[in-house]
Structure 1
């Protein structure tokens, strides 16, 4: 009976690891990505305006 109790410890640890990994890989909302892409687009537009009159490549 004592051996079964010792075997229970790694089994419970494996179950806890499975639950944690499922929780860690859950889908999160990606609302922040849209704002970041808009900011990057504004940055690109500003860089093109700044260098549009330059003859340097």
Structure 2
């Protein structure tokens, strides 16, 4: 009976490894829509001037 137990250990380990490998290699859905929308909002916010900041289009008084 002890020999069966010793043979059963590698079989169970192989089945567990096969199940884990199958789970790890599964196809995952990539939902980038929310991330891309957040990035677009970030870019828009960075392009807007800060409240109270001088505008970039105003000519410098030092330019001659």
TM-score category (smaller protein): 0.5 to 0.7
* Alignment gaps of 5+ in structure 2: 58-64
> In the comparison of the two structures, how many residue pairs are matched?
52
TM-score, structure 2 length as denominator? 0.58
2:7 aligns with: 7
Q: Which has the higher helix share?
A: 1
How big is the alpha-carbon RMSD for the aligned residues of Structure 1 and Structure 2? 2.2
TM-score, structure 1 length as denominator? 0.62
1:24 aligns with: 24
* Alignment gaps of 5+ in structure 1: none
- Which structure is higher in RCO with an 8 Å CA cutoff and minimum separation 6? 2
Whichever of the two has the greater Rg, that structure is 2
